[in-house]
């Protein structure tokens, strides 16, 4: 959807609404968080969780 909207804007005179742009930005932000931010934070948090006692 993101690439298609970009291509349509550049090549097919698509003029996205403010709401469309907000949706696209929200989608990109979510992808960046899931790929780059959350794994780092999860790894950091793993070091703060005390181990189980056996």
Map out the domains of the chain as residue ranges: 16-49
Q: What is the pLDDT of residues 2-51, one digit of tens each?
A: 899 999 999 999 999 999 999 999 999 999 999 999 999 998 998 899 98
Residue 20 neighbours by CB under 8 Å, 6+ apart: 5
Global pTM value = 0.70
Residue 40 structure tokens: 């780092």
Binning the chain into helix, strand and coil, the percentages to the nearest 5 are 70, 0, 30
Residue 42 structure tokens: 């999860």
User: How far apart, in whole angstroms, are the C-alpha atoms of residue 2 and residue 42?
Assistant: 27
């Amino acid at each position: 959807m993101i690439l298609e909207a970009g291509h349509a804007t550049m090549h097919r005179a698509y003029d996205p609404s403010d709401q469309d742009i907000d949706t696209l930005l929200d989608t990109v932000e979510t992808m960046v968080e899931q790929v780059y931010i959350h794994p780092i934070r999860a790894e950091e948090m793993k070091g703060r969780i005390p181990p189980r006692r056996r």
